[in-house]
Amino acid sequence: MIDDAYLWLESLDEPEAARWVAERNDETLAAFADEEFARTRDEIREVLDSRDRISFPGWRGDGFYYSFWQDADHPRGLWRRTTAEQYRLAEPEWDVLLDVDALNEAEGENWTWSDVTVLRPGNERCLISLARGGADASVVREFDMVRRVFVTDGFTLPEAKSDVDWIDADHIFVGTDFGPGSLTSSGYPRIVKRWRRGTPLSEAETVFEGAADDILVRAYHDTTEGFERDLVIRWPTFFTREYHVRVPGGELERIDVPEDADCEVHREWMLVRVRSPWTVGGVTHPAGALLATRFGRRDFTVLFRPDERTSLNGWSWTRNHLLLVTMTDVRTEAHVLTPGDPEWTRQALPAAGEFAQTWIVETDPDRDDSYLIAAEGFLLPTTLSLGTVGGPVEVLKRQPDFFDPAGLEVRQFFAVSADGTRVPYFVVGGEKPGPALLSGYGGFEVALTPGYDAVIGRGWLARGGAYAVANIRGGGEYGPAWHRAALRENRLRAYEDFAAVAADLVARGITTPAQLGIKGGSNGGLLMGVMLTRYPELFGAVVATVPLLDMRRYTRLLAGKSWIAEYGDPDVAADWEFLREYSPYQNVRPDRVYPPVLFSTSTRDDRVHPGHARKMAALMREQGHEVAYHENVEGGHAGAADNDQAATIRALMLEFLWRRLAR
């Protein structure tokens, strides 16, 4: 039995919990109801609604540029498309396929856009996923892209964490809530079925069943002409996969790759990115290597081999080439690799510049060797370019400066963590010391790279504050080893890294502990909770958004069980021994002095339960600490469902920090 006086705050429907949330929201908003807050919010809203933002497109095999767009006139958004020629213009003519605001008005609903799966190659039908208030769970509805209407008696699924993919015009793969026992203990599909048009879902043919404690299973259909195939993937844990190909007759054949590897097939090729050393064909390949072979064969070619400073950031296929993005000390480079016999060839793509990042926005591997590539940095607004392998690169869009970069510079430093590890971090700001804001994540092999954040630019840098990003262990900045170094019982290393960066900022004279604020969300919100309770003397203010904070109960709340591979299982005594060392909710004390903290979450977050933030705020308030709390009703794990909500939440964060750090 867990002794938890605030367990009642985990309830989303009980009137007492709802009243508590409403009272905290009223207190927090009242504290910021002044002209300064309104000005910050309006400046942020101007950025979020700006028509000068780049409308990043997707390609779906028909030559159109597809985009989902939100602004002041369309807060819930438009799904739209335009031609390649129109997209080059400053103000393209967009063909609106679905107006989510109009749909909400017509149906009396509260839909937010979630996802779309288009039937190729005809591109006349699609499956649209719509969520209520921004949740992960969504409804799925078939949509006629020619007539611009939802298909009567088409493929439809009720609200659930579903996964769908087209097989052909009359069949789809579907994983959803089929009834008791059909979901994993993490709340995702355990069973995937093949569903024929015009038949009830209950009659769909089962293709694969995973185990109850798996994370999820899914299936998809490869539509590549001449290489059509069905693939089924089982996730036993967050970081392990089983890949299966469906052979004629419906049987599944497992692809022989390591469980912790990423595997991808493209035409005749198969890529394998290994997370731990793998010996195959008498050769041992290091963790983080990318290998290629012809599908069905075992003679692998090494396409990328990591070293202590360099890792693989991502890849994308065109029809005949592979685009790679690598990182060296968190600085990206892009390359084109071309299959050859016997050797693959390599060619560099234009670099984004120092302290900037390059990433592949889109390719269309069924059509040709074109690609969309973007570049941006902390002070470099985003540029979107169109290229063709072996041909020119054309700039399509340039985002304007949303804040004045004059007097600002970007620097990279390395802090030394408690065990001697060098931890990189970036600092953006001027020469004078003063308020600084440090962010971090450090989990799930996610890398934090330089990016143009106009909201931080306007709401923080323009005021004279410095902004820093810590590339701590647990992330993916140096590949799988950097992530693995902070897994489970080694989690404290990530927190020691972040503390080392904070101390280094002070040692370099960039700021002082009283003027150093920190922010993070989700796993980064857990990071903030640990910094708050374990290193309170290092900081002047803390903001934690949609955070994990109660590591004793996290596996019992929503999708929490899916993260056991990352954190450990609190119901296993040996795991709880290391989890209890840092779990913020269990480590807050009435006799310690903590910096002021703002917790922000969403009632509709069905990934990280809002109970984490609620309970932590309530406990700290009871103990007499300075705590602000805000819970947006909508928004899901993103925290906001539209730009107005996002502007309010981000203004709260920046105003909370500035008013406490710039005094």
Q: What is the DSSP string of 476-488?
A: STT-HHHHHTTSG
Q: Note the pLDDT of residue 76.
A: 97
Distance between CA 309 and CA 428 in Å, rounded? 22
Average pLDDT for runs of 10 along the chain of length 663: 88 94 97 96 97 96 96 97 97 98 98 97 96 97 98 97 98 98 98 98 97 98 95 98 93 96 97 97 96 95 96 97 97 95 89 86 96 97 96 95 97 98 98 96 98 97 98 98 98 98 98 98 98 98 98 98 98 98 98 98 97 98 98 95 97 98 89
Q: What angle do CA 28, 30, 32 make, to 5 degrees?
A: 80
Q: Where are the beta strands (DSSP E) in 455-535?
A: 466-470, 516-521
Burial 58-90 (b: 16+ CB within 10 A, else e): bbbebebbbbbbbbeebbbbbbbbbeeeebeee
Is residue 538 helix, strand or coil?
helix
Distance between CA 390 and CA 381 in Å, rounded? 26
Burial 279-318 (b: 16+ CB within 10 A, else e): ebeeeebbbbbbbbbeeeeeebbebbebeeebbbbbbbbb
The secondary structure of 265-334, three-state, reads EECCEEEEECCCCEEECCEEECCCCEEEEECCCCCCEEEECCCCCEEEEEEEECCCCEEEEEEECCEEEE
Nearest to 135 by CA among 110, 157, 156, 100: 110
Nearest to 536 by CA among 483, 486, 495, 569: 495
Q: Note the pLDDT of residue 493.
A: 98
For residue 168, the tally of other CB atoms under 10 A from its CB is 11
Distance between CA 478 and CA 614 in Å, rounded? 35
> Is the Cα torsion angle 609, 615, 618, 621 positive or negative in sign?
negative
Nearest to 287 by CA among 441, 490, 482, 448: 482
Distance between CA 330 and CA 478 in Å, rounded? 8
**What Å distances lie between residue 234 and 128, 216, 219, 237, CA to CA?**
24, 6, 9, 9
| Cβ 70 vs Cβ 76: under 8 Å | yes
The tally of CA atoms less than 13 A away on the side-chain side of residue 623 is: 19
**Amino acid letter, 207:** V
Identify the helix (H) or strand (E) that includes residue 385. Answer: strand 383-388
What's phi and psi for 404, nearest 5 deg?
Answer: -80, 120
What's phi and psi for 40, nearest 5 deg?
Answer: -60, -45
**What Å distances lie between residue 23 and 16, 106, 614, CA to CA?**
11, 33, 12
| Cβ 535 vs Cβ 502: under 8 Å | yes
Q: What is the dihedral of CA 608, 613, 619, 624, to 10 degrees?
A: 160
Nearest to 475 by CA among 499, 497, 442: 442
> Is the Cα torsion angle 10, 11, 17, 22 positive or negative in sign?
positive
For residue 586, the tally of other CB atoms under 10 A from its CB is 18
User: Which stretches within 548-628 are classed as H helix?
Assistant: 564-567, 573-579, 584-587, 611-622
> Residues with catalytic annotation?
522, 637
From its phi and psi, is residue 123 left (phi > 0), alpha (psi between -120 and 50) or beta?
A: left
The secondary structure of 387-434, three-state, reads EECCCCEEEEEECCCCCCCCCCEEEEEEEECCCCCEEEEEEEECCCCC
- For the chain, count helices (H), then strands (E): 13, 39
Nearest to 486 by CA among 515, 518, 453, 444: 444
Residue 656: both structure tokens together: 């909370």
Q: Note the pLDDT of residue 354.
A: 80
| Cβ 355 vs Cβ 329: under 8 Å | no
Is residue 467 helix, strand or coil?
strand
Q: Note the pLDDT of residue 663.
A: 76
Distance between CA 519 and CA 547 in Å, rounded? 11
For residue 93, the tally of other CB atoms under 10 A from its CB is 10
Distance between CA 610 and CA 596 in Å, rounded? 20
Residue 323: both structure tokens together: 């685009």
Instruction: Give 360's contacts (C-beta < 8 A, 6+ positions apart).
Output: 314, 315, 316, 323, 325, 334, 371, 372, 373
Residue 301: both structure tokens together: 């070619």
Distance between CA 167 and CA 248 in Å, rounded? 14
Instruction: Give 558's contacts (C-beta < 8 A, 6+ positions apart).
Output: 187, 605, 606, 607, 608, 609
> Is the Cα torsion angle 524, 526, 529, 535 positive or negative in sign?
negative
